[in-house]
């Protein structure tokens, strides 16, 4: 599997990132099998968070045997410095490691949330301090919805961040404001050598019925060929990699898509954005 440098961290991350959201309600045996499958495919990067149900507890039973070969990224949803520090230390204990390679402010989706984490006494202070202490190697920010590229430009300008993580798929880039702010964010990230990672690569769109057939909070693509083309689109963007979807049944097709990746031409990329339905964008 291809590897790409994650910005100023210098880490050669696999283009597929093992997403801990898929471990929400699982078992140790299932999580161990998911780790083994991902590592065998070439994955060397884990993304996990306390908010993913049982993920930290279950992964903590498995991660130690892979720790030397896995870049571990964790997150905090706490917006205040003390709360973020407590959550950081709790996650370190659950995952049985003495250090995270990357620690991120999780799901910063609004101006109010961004203001809180950047304010005096906000979570940003904890992340910078933890990096200075060597408790984490790098710090970043993540988000889900329509405003995040604009918000992340401000975050990168005001805080010395190492990474950002946000949705990258045709319906999101079909939104004119999203695309404009995304392209401006990419330019700023390139200037500052900030790593960019993607989520929602295989998102088809919001659930349109109350019957959900996957454990993802969005409706995913399921056909392997469609997943391959969706992953191909995302990895043709200037991103380091994409998080595997939050449904373990989709991992084999997503991993195969990452292993088989060949880039789209700029013309093919533009055509896919032009053909996308903006109603499939995950705006909130």
CATH at residue 56: 3.20.20.100
Residue 53, pLDDT score? 87
CA separation for the pair 145, 127 (Å, rounded): 23
The phi, psi pair for 171, rounded to 5°, reads -60, -35
pLDDT for 284 beyond 90: no
**Token pair of 190 as six digits:** 């390139």
- Are 218 and 200 in contact by the 8 Å Cβ rule? The answer is yes
- Are 155 and 161 in contact by the 8 Å Cβ rule? The answer is yes
Q: Is 244 left (phi over 0), alpha (psi -120 to 50) or beta?
A: beta
- Are 17 and 245 in contact by the 8 Å Cβ rule? The answer is no
> What's the total number of domains in the chain?
1
pLDDT for 114 beyond 90: yes
- Domain containing 67 equals 3-280
**pLDDT band, very low/low/confident/very high, at 69 (cuts 50, 70, 90):** very high
**Token pair of 9 as six digits:** 């961290």
Report the mean per-residue pLDDT for the chain. 97
Max CA separation in the chain (angstroms): 48
HSE toward the beta carbon, residue 73, CA cutoff 13 A:
29
Alpha helix positions (H), the chain? 28-41, 55-62, 81-94, 111-118, 123-133, 148-158, 170-173, 176-192, 224-235, 251-259, 266-275
Between the alpha carbon of residue 172 and those of residues 224, 251, 269, the distances in Å are 21, 22, 13
pTM: 0.97
Q: What is the pLDDT of residues 205-247, one digit of tens each?
A: 999 888 888 989 899 999 999 999 999 999 999 999 999 999 9
Q: What angle do CA 199, 205, 210 make, to 5 degrees?
A: 120
pLDDT for 147 beyond 90: yes
Q: What is the pLDDT of residues 5-62, one digit of tens each?
A: 999 999 999 999 999 999 998 999 999 999 999 999 999 999 999 999 899 999 999 9
Residue 162, pLDDT score? 98
CA separation for the pair 212, 250 (Å, rounded): 14
Residue 210, pLDDT score? 83
Residue 176, pLDDT score? 97
- Are 136 and 99 in contact by the 8 Å Cβ rule? The answer is yes
Task: Kindly state the average pLDDT of the residues 93-116.
Answer: 98
In this structure, the number of other CB atoms found within 10 A of the CB of residue 237 comes to 18
- Are 214 and 248 in contact by the 8 Å Cβ rule? The answer is no
In our burial notation (b when 16+ CB lie closer than 10 A, e otherwise), range 129-149 reads ebbeeebbbbbbbbbbbbbbb
CA separation for the pair 234, 228 (Å, rounded): 10
**Token pair of 22 as six digits:** 């898929």
């Amino acid at each position: 599997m291809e590897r790409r440098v994650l910005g100023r961290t210098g880490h050669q991350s696999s283009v597929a990132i093992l997403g801990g959201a898929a471990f929400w309600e699982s078992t140790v045996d299932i999580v161990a099998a998911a780790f083994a499958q991902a590592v065998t495919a070439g994955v060397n990067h884990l993304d996990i968070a306390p908010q993913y149900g049982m993920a930290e507890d279950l992964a903590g039973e498995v991660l130690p045997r892979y720790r030397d070969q896995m870049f571990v990224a964790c997150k905090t949803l706490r917006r205040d410095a003390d709360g973020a520090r407590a959550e950081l230390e709790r996650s370190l204990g659950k995952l049985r490691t003495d250090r995270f390679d990357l620690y991120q402010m999780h799901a910063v989706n609004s101006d109010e949330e961004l203001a809180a984490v950047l304010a005096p006494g906000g979570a940003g202070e904890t992340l910078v301090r933890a990096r200075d202490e060597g408790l984490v190697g790098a710090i970043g920010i993540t988000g889900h919805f329509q405003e995040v590229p604009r918000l992340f430009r401000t975050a990168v300008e005001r805080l010395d961040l190492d990474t950002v993580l946000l949705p990258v798929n045709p319906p999101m880039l079909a939104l004119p404001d999203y695309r404009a702010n995304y392209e401006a964010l990419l330019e700023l990230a390139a200037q500052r050598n900030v790593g960019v990672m993607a989520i929602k690569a295989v998102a088809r769109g919001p659930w349109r019925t109350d019957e959900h057939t996957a454990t993802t909070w969005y409706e995913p693509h399921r056909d392997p060929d469609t997943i391959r083309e969706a992953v191909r689109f995302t990895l043709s963007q200037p991103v380091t990699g994409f998080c595997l979807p939050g449904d373990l049944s989709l991992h084999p097709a997503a991993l195969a898509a990452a292993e088989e990746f060949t880039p789209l031409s700029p013309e093919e990329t533009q055509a896919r954005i032009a053909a996308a339905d903006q109603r499939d964008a995950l705006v909130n």
